[in-house]
Structure 1
Amino acid sequence: MVNLNNENIMTAKDASEIWGKNPAYVRSMINEYPEKWPTGSWRKFGNTLVVTTKGMEKVTGIKDPRKKR
């Protein structure tokens, strides 16, 4: 079972904000470069795109900014 309360699962909008990117960044990257995303690191639920920390770290090359606090 997947724990949806896990901090490593977030909406694309939240992920973009956490990594300091444009709000459309994640959607654009998934549409333009789906091969850069690790398998299982993103999924669409209705109109909501959900991504993982692992996926964001891989695509941006930046470790989770929340861990630096």
Structure 2
Amino acid sequence: MSAGEASKLWGKSDNYVRQMLAKYPEKFPAGSVRKIGKQLVVTPQGMEAVTGIRKNDLDI
């Protein structure tokens, strides 16, 4: 999913993934975040690793 979409799902600001990737790239598991063209995409596992909140625990 897009970084902005993931950030909103996890209740974070729109640029959360970009900020975390810039400051703490080691928190993202290998292959969990990728840039495709200008679009940054992140897996649910990447968001879980960075936020500590599991996707199943979200109110979606």
Question: TM-score of the superposition, structure 1-length normalised?
Answer: 0.80
Runs of 4+ in 1 over 3 A off after TM superposition: none
Structure 2 gaps, min length 5: none
Higher strand residue share: 1
Identity %: 55
Structure 1 gaps, min length 5: 1-9
Aligned residue in 2 for 1:49: 40
Higher-Rg structure is 1
Q: CA RMSD of the aligned region, Å?
A: 1.0
Kindly report which structure 2 residues correspond to 1:18-57, keeping only aligned pairs within 5 A, or say none. Answer: 18-57=9-48
Higher helix residue share: 2
Aligned residues: 58
Question: TM-score of the superposition, structure 2-length normalised?
Answer: 0.91
